[in-house]
Amino acid sequence: MKKAILVVSFGTTYPETRKKTIEACEKRIVDAYPDYDVYRAFTSNMVIGRIKKQEGMSINTTSQALKMLKEQEYQEVIVQPLHVITGSEYHKVLKQAEPFRGEFTKFKISRPLLTYHRDYEKVIESLDDLISPLSAKEAIVLMAHGSEHASFATYACLDHMLGDKPVEICCVESYPHLDDTITSLKAAGKTTLHLYPFMLVAGDHATNDMASDDDDSWKSQLIRAGFNVETHLVGLGENKKIQAIYLSHLSELMNEEEQE
């Protein structure tokens, strides 16, 4: 039986972070499932178009990849999203995958990073290595993308579950807001902040909206608010514990299949 795993992410036009994050996650999956052929798809048509223009590389959408797998006569296909929340991009995967449900002997779609309660607990645990070196006056600020989708509440839930850990999550879009975070950090007596993207890749948002010297970047806003700021262009996909969470989602899905 020909078997494939399709790894789907939003994508990025930044080759360096693509290699460190998306490709790193794909490699973990390749190593863990040698009996499966592993393929890539992106959900962002804009990113796909720019990569084609800038690098001459063609990347499939979810529907294009599934059509290709059907034409190549794969019988079992597992889709593993690398999205962070069950937001609009994940639902785009579901919509494009739906017409193919009857085209394969086995067809399953796994889940994004944050779906079940245990996912939140594992993600919080993955931050321990960043937290442990901090002094009492230091804190971490995570830049999430945010969403207009109802799943934007994912970020507020995770922020709440962090409890008294020196970590704040806020979003480029939607809630929680950076202004609220500034107020909270000042009240906690924090003076030095470490800015990280809470995104799979350290791409455009991390490079420009978070870490640049532009007047409206988060770095600049936090400096004006009186904090010392250090930026870290490290995507979630570089974190081996995050990679392991995606692998655990695949493993759970495979075990469900075996029990059917």
* Cα 225-151-47 angle, rounded to 5 deg: 80
Does 160 participate in catalysis according to the annotation?
A: no
CB-based contact 202:146 (threshold 8 Å): no
CB-based contact 80:110 (threshold 8 Å): yes
Q: Residue 149, annotated ligand binder?
A: no
Q: Residue 89, annotated ligand binder?
A: yes
Element of type H or E holding 189:
none
Q: Residue 10, annotated ligand binder?
A: yes
β 138-144/192-197 pair status = parallel
CB-based contact 229:219 (threshold 8 Å): yes
Q: Residue 145, annotated ligand binder?
A: yes
Q: Residue 260, annotated ligand binder?
A: no
- Single out the catalytic residue among 83, 117, 145, 160: 145
The CB-side HSE value for 97 (13 A sphere, CA atoms) comes to 24
Task: Give the 3-state DSSP-derived string for 143-186, with helices as H, strands as E and coil as C.
Answer: EECCCCCHHHHHHHHHHHHCCCCCEEEEECCCCCCHHHHHHHHH
Residues across the chain: 260
Q: Residue 177, annotated ligand binder?
A: no
Q: Residue 173, annotated ligand binder?
A: yes
Q: Residue 120, annotated ligand binder?
A: no
Q: Residue 189, annotated ligand binder?
A: no
Q: Residue 146, annotated ligand binder?
A: no
Q: Residue 88, annotated ligand binder?
A: yes
Across the chain, the runs of DSSP E, i.e. the strands, are: 3-9, 37-42, 76-81, 106-109, 138-144, 167-171, 192-197, 228-231
Q: Residue 29, annotated ligand binder?
A: no
Binding site for substrate, by residue number, is 85-92, 200-201
Binding site for Co(2+), by residue number, is 10, 145, 173, 205
Which residues are tagged catalytic? Answer: 145
Binding site, by residue number, is 10, 85-92, 145, 173, 200-201, 205
